Amino acid sequence: MININICEVEEILKQEKQNLINLMPEQFKQKIKENAFICGGCIYSLYNNQEPKDYDFFLRDKQLAQDLMDYFKSLDLQPYKNLLQGKYKGLHLMVSKYAISIGKYQIIVKYIGEPVEIVEQFDFKHNQFYFENKNVQPVADWEFLDTKRISFNEDKARDICGVILRLPKFVKRGMIVTKKEIAKMLNKLNENGFDESEQEIIKYHSTY
């Protein structure tokens, strides 16, 4: 049964999306309103009275993603590790080949598509919810917003090394991961092997 505070979550997400729109150059504001949706851990965090570390915005328009990348890369940014960084409207700006981060807002450019198409690929079921302009919508069962147990999305998950490396973050926040769920992750990794993305993730975490 979904808790009544989902309405409060929706109001916060509505405001956070408007905040991102307000940050955008004029030529992108309407496009962001029409094409951007919020999903990922911030919805779970808000529902469980936790402050989100950031807000992940995904896009359904490839051209918009490319135009945003071109615009932000054209600003006065400095190389840092494998990305560019600088300031934008007083906020820390980072641009990588995967995302544009403006303060607590991340615009993901690696994966483009419709909300359900994107969210059903997420690694953990407690993150399989999205918000566009009005309501939080589930891809997984609503019950996953109420649990502290981590459930691996073994049918669709990708970047399994990254999945495993993120487990300490969830445990630190009080979530519970069982041996069974870890075994599912390892089995998926064994099936898929290491692709280029996996190797980059391992290299990054081995270096920094």
- Look at 95 and 192; give whichever has higher pLDDT: 95
Residue type (1 letter), 151? S
User: Tokens 């991102």 identify what position?
Assistant: 20
Span 89-135, pLDDT tens digits:
999 999 999 999 999 999 999 999 999 999 999 999 999 999 999 99
Span 13-38, pLDDT tens digits:
999 999 999 999 999 999 999 999 99
Please check whether residue 10 is in contact with residue 43, taking contact to mean a CB–CB distance below 8 angstroms.
no
Q: What is the pLDDT of residue 126?
A: 94
Residue type (1 letter), 35? N
> Where residue 4 falls among pLDDT bands split at 50, 70, 90?
low
What Rg do the C-alpha atoms of the chain give, in angstroms? 17
* Distance between CA atoms of residues 151 and 128, nearest Å: 11
Please check whether residue 14 is in contact with residue 36, taking contact to mean a CB–CB distance below 8 angstroms.
no
* Distance between CA atoms of residues 102 and 208, nearest Å: 22
User: Tokens 């729109």 identify what position?
Assistant: 21
Domain 6-147 CATH (choose: 1.20.120, 3.30.460, 3.10.450, 3.40.50): 3.30.460
Span 67-98, pLDDT tens digits:
999 999 999 999 988 899 999 999 999 999 99
Looking at residues 187-203, what average pLDDT do you find? 76
Structural domain boundaries of the chain?
Answer: 6-147, 152-208
Residue type (1 letter), 111? Y
User: Tokens 């945003």 identify what position?
Assistant: 68
Q: What is the pLDDT of residue 1?
A: 42
> Where residue 173 falls among pLDDT bands split at 50, 70, 90?
confident
For 201, residues 6+ apart whose C-beta sits below 8 A from its C-beta are 159, 161, 162, 165
* Distance between CA atoms of residues 169 and 55, nearest Å: 16
